[in-house]
Structure 1
């Protein structure tokens, strides 16, 4: 006999969950069907991104160079102060030995005078205050004590200065590490992008750079501009002798260079010392507009002045561009950032 029991109604909550899940599945499948395949950047897009990363790496490199220069300067200053403190301590010890001899002589002649007992106090300032009431000090004793007093103050100041510079050095070393890590991160990211290119695309990019470099070199040859001065001409000539040498962050030659490393090296060979970093180099000499530039003048690019080269004439510069390149000629209009000003040293 057939059962007449009513079929069990599905649970309302369960129906809602199943309906929602089904709708989501349909939506996902529809999205997957309509989604465009992932875009692989072409060589021009990769080049633009890599150039931007190299620019950021060069910014960090110049800050790294500045921190490194500061570290070296602080280390020299601290060493000089510490040497001075050591010599001053020796002088102070001799002065104190002289006071001890005076006390010994008085003791052997019948006891130490109260004034001399104060004289040997560890606090000369306190002694002078008290000694003024004794009226028993000779001019020689007062002069000797004042020397001790002055030397102690001098040493205290020098030790405080050294302590401050040591703190500054610790901060600078931390900054140095941070900048180095930042540079390496940018370069690693750029290399990963370059690795996405095919061999044919890499060859095409290299060929483009070589054509641009040859074109700039030809424009320099045809320009035949005059130099700003004898030392500017000499600096430019020395820089020309480094054409083809690789860029390397923090390098100052003679086997590799970064941008400010090349300019500082070239001028040093001409007998002119200029600061190490592009930012510091921008603050020397006479500033120039583009129309005033002559061969050998320093030329600065980007708002923060993180790139520098030597003017080569006819709108071209000689510089160490960035990682992956060599010292070469290049048009001022293809640097990647605006020309800010020139400097005549």
Structure 2
């Protein structure tokens, strides 16, 4: 018997079947493309997580940080002023204690000499005197603690024995007091300097970032410090924007040495109205040692000067047609600096 053959399909049926198959293939390809794209995207994203850097602090944030640090430095400065008084008191007390220890040592030696003479006399008379053992002992207190010795001394000149004991005890107390005072002085100074250094470094770093973002902010920051230089600079900063006038020394117009003279006058220091004289008005310091308020000089003949502000900048009255302002030290022939106080 002949096997059954599949019925033949018409052309339209074959065409429909092909169209249906082509549609399914197209849909499969589209889905495959979408899946491939998704896998590719996942592969790019999954190996590492994108690192997000902390946003740079704004000018406002940096100024707030710098102002807060400056306030902390002011507090530490006042604590320093208070501790400086205590340090001076401790140093005086240590000196007094040391001198007292020396006096007691002399008194102790004098009593020892007397007891030694007493022992020598007894020995020459043929007696066996425990005093000699006391004088020769490396540990007099231990020797005195012996009952027989105490009984012996009780029968001797009480004032000499009492004087010896009091002198020994007083000398020991005085020495301990002097050593303790010295330790306290050292500890106080060390802790204070460590605190000041840490906050000062943080302030300088924050101020540097702020000035880098906006140089005009330097003049708006507090002047840190309690010395005469910092105080004078605070006064000078209030004159930013005032016009330069040759020969003027305030309170509304200034030339370069007139500004520094006026500022220091406000804190009780008289400076001559001449750059050459102000050059000799204090202690010369190097550029690396500059502190706010130090006088900075330029040119070989010292014909221009200003006041150091910090961060490599100064406050000065430049020239006719200009105003009191903050400017970089760089770009000018730096001659040197002077710390007035």
TM-score with structure 1 setting the length = 0.45
Larger radius of gyration: 2
TM-score with structure 2 setting the length = 0.45
